[in-house]
Structure 1
């Protein structure tokens, strides 16, 4: 089963699913713009989700977007009326970066059926489908979170995957190379990690590209042959989930390093590589 859903398919089954709006101001790492966009119009019946407050814990030793408190995720699930039998659809503005984080966190928390609206709210609008400005009332679901349903990597395990498997760095090439670093205090990448920019997995309209398998072969360059672990990280563990989603579409069970670069550099004894090669 695909982890993605088209706007037409969502419209067809919207009465039978829980819809979550995860629009997020990625450039400023705040949710204020996302909430304003939601208030201006959203998929009918969708609940707004605060990525920073509900899909991540406070910034600290675990990085800028560590895993959320399970109790917070459970409160979100119950507010939206999620049960063990719910089908959940998440979306963001267009590229599914934030939606993929919700997809991953909810599955990590034990929600069994979560899919992403491919192309986000932009695809919904492009299809000429109705929008709403009404926020639904709390539905008082009964879902019980079971954290840890998806595996994760810590820093030591990420380093091991970089040596013995395939560790993907989902950031832009210039950040990977250490040429610029607009957010974190140290530039560069985990030694041995391969650069695989998240944006390269997308088509121009914000949907996932149709040739994912071919793109994966170019990224892996013979290293993603199924014999070793595939891990993914980014700056803080948000956009890496997008690459996890792309790989899941290909049937590849990659493992997320949630702390990502922002957690890696908190220990100054950890090595840092620069330049365009894994190094």
Structure 2
């Protein structure tokens, strides 16, 4: 099954015999809030307008555990995650479509996490809510509870040690902005730079200005130039396992399997014993 779905396809499937469960996971990474401006509130945005039938899922509390030694967005507690998915109506026998406000990072995190937890059919709405031109709903939705029970490790997740090995023996892509990879700036973590041997591949270069993914052929060409065709394993990391999931999704659109290092730079850089490289791609 394709990893993404267009708004037109979603509209059609929603009228079919087995309509997908819809999850709204709007979220924004806020590095700094302007004076007098409150931080982004995904739930408020959802209640102000969403695709009919969608249920809001909070990334920070349902799709990640508390920040700590495992990074800013480590894997969530399975009981918490499973309960959130069932409350949102997720079932093992129904497809799931996830969307966010258009950037795609949060939706990709939910997509990856559900696949890691064993759900057989998950897709991301290409272009997010901005691509939807159908009816909208306000307030909250009442849905029948689902029966989904997570089965962790249904797809691989990299540890810090795994990522270090993959950077040497396979291909490890860094999905962050190039200036963070090079160590020129670091707005969040202890130190700038990248995992030695990793290759810079900003996930923002996988999409068009409106947030839709580039055609699969273009993505394949891009990733081939970065070295995917020369290795048997590909891994991805970012700052905290969110934008990295978006790169894993882009790789899936291109037909390339990749593994996510969930702890990413926020975990790696917090450990002063781990090496840090700076500068451009090797």
TM-score bucket (shorter structure): over 0.9
- Report deviation, 1:215: 4.0
- Report deviation, 1:82: 1.7
Alignment of 1:35-54 (within 5 A): 35-54=43-62
Counterpart for residue 151 of structure 2: 146
Task: State which of 270, 276, 280 in structure 2 corresponds to 1:272.
Answer: 276
TM-score w.r.t. length of structure 1: 0.93
Q: Is the 8 A contact 1:168 1:195 kept in 2?
A: yes
Counterpart for residue 228 of structure 1: 232
Task: State which of 167, 177, 187 in structure 2 corresponds to 1:172.
Answer: 177
Counterpart for residue 83 of structure 1: 91
1:39 is paired with a residue of what secondary structure?
A: helix
Please give the alpha-carbon distance, in whole angstroms, between the structure 2 residues aligned to 1:6 and 1:31.
29
1:99 is paired with a residue of what secondary structure?
A: helix
Q: Is the 8 A contact 1:201 1:209 kept in 2?
A: yes
Counterpart for residue 35 of structure 2: none
From the superposition, tell whether residues 187 and 46 of structure 1 become closer, same or farther in structure 2 (CA, over 3 Å): same
Alignment of 1:1-279 (within 5 A): 1-15=1-15, 16-28=19-31, 32-124=40-132, 127=133, 129-210=134-215, 212-221=216-225, 223-225=227-229, 227-278=231-282
Q: Is the 8 A contact 2:189 2:270 kept in 1?
A: no
Deviations 1:144-171 (A, max 9, x none): 1111111011111101111111100000
Please give the alpha-carbon distance, in whole angstroms, between the structure 1 residues aligned to 2:211 and 2:258.
22
Equivalent residues, number: 274
Please give the alpha-carbon distance, in whole angstroms, between the structure 2 residues aligned to 1:99 and 1:258.
15
Q: Is the 8 A contact 1:43 1:131 kept in 2?
A: yes
2:89 is paired with a residue of what secondary structure?
A: coil
1:2 is paired with a residue of what secondary structure?
A: coil
From the superposition, tell whether residues 222 and 50 of structure 1 become closer, same or farther in structure 2 (CA, over 3 Å): closer
- Could you list the runs of 5+ residues in structure 1 that have no partner in the other structure? none
From the superposition, tell whether residues 217 and 137 of structure 1 become closer, same or farther in structure 2 (CA, over 3 Å): same
TM-score w.r.t. length of structure 2: 0.92
Please give the alpha-carbon distance, in whole angstroms, between the structure 2 residues aligned to 1:192 and 1:104.
24
Please give the alpha-carbon distance, in whole angstroms, between the structure 2 residues aligned to 1:216 and 1:262.
28
Please give the alpha-carbon distance, in whole angstroms, between the structure 2 residues aligned to 1:269 and 1:74.
35
- Could you list the runs of 5+ residues in structure 2 that have no partner in the other structure? 33-37
